[in-house]
Structure 1
């Protein structure tokens, strides 16, 4: 499970770029998020063997991933997990990404990390089925004067063109353009889109098997995309 931390625990004085949570369990959300998002507590086992594999083999390869045994999963993790597995019975591995505080890795690095994580999962010896879920968003602006403009026109031209690229597997230019500065120009929260770029690194140019873009006056644009196992294992591109 890949998501950014929203300055709830990683802050200006301690901001890892990419961090794996490898404690025995992942719990959340933060107390203030229970009321803000109407969330229940989530407490789930962590798949420790695969987490250690990602860390150890990642260091041997191209990514020096950070790790921590002390963390809380915030709404970026808890919202999708609660919808996908309300039973809280499927082990997870939280992978925190820095999409909040510069310096933020460019889209190229998120894309490379997605590719690396896929390769590491494929070299894991255990007979384990793995689903990768990334949690991000399209244009977004929080606590700034532009919040009103998003309420009046939630779907921007950037959202429309980006959604077309995502849906049709046209990603090379999208990855190259996805720098912090470029994304920030569309709203101070838009760098959260970098977690989409991570997903594109995992799937390559394969088109999604299912997709839906939702938005409204009280809901910022959110794009949902799914690639099934057959597509990922060499299906239609």
Structure 2
């Protein structure tokens, strides 16, 4: 799969039947685009990523509430951050600092559309600074459009309170545990869900754990907050 062209990879997209195959496909696609890795997010859900670094970058945006994939100014163009160090004192100081510590030099964000509506983003990173080439940008749009259709057709079905598999090859919702942990914190501390999520995000940043690991610690009751004298 590695070494395939973007056109060849798009033709094989429908054959990605499980999580491992989707990651291998995304890694090959990133390579074909001249990128180190890519992620795809729909709303607040991370649904696809090529490698641990790309997942970490997407989680940083979620935890910090800042980054190039949030609140795109123009839904019809690629947001390019060709030199991340220059963004340190500008729009995303915390995010840029954390990303540069991971060795990231440049970031690129394509809006993901279903019809005329922007539903998410495809974000790619590179470890060398510089703008995208015209062909890279155009190929990125092709990938983003194909992934939008794939995600729409393979969104997991909901069975009761749990996520089902949906159609074969259904995409994974990688923040399901985060939502569960948020609900547990909300009930335990008797606070609104947004405040519970803010506490979870803050703990993730302070502890330097991944967002998923922090959520797991809450669900396993290894990480507890003061309840103001209340008990379970």
TM-score (norm 2): 0.26
Name the structure with the higher helix share: 2
Q: Which has the higher contact order (CA 8 A, sep 6+)?
A: 1
TM-score (norm 1): 0.26
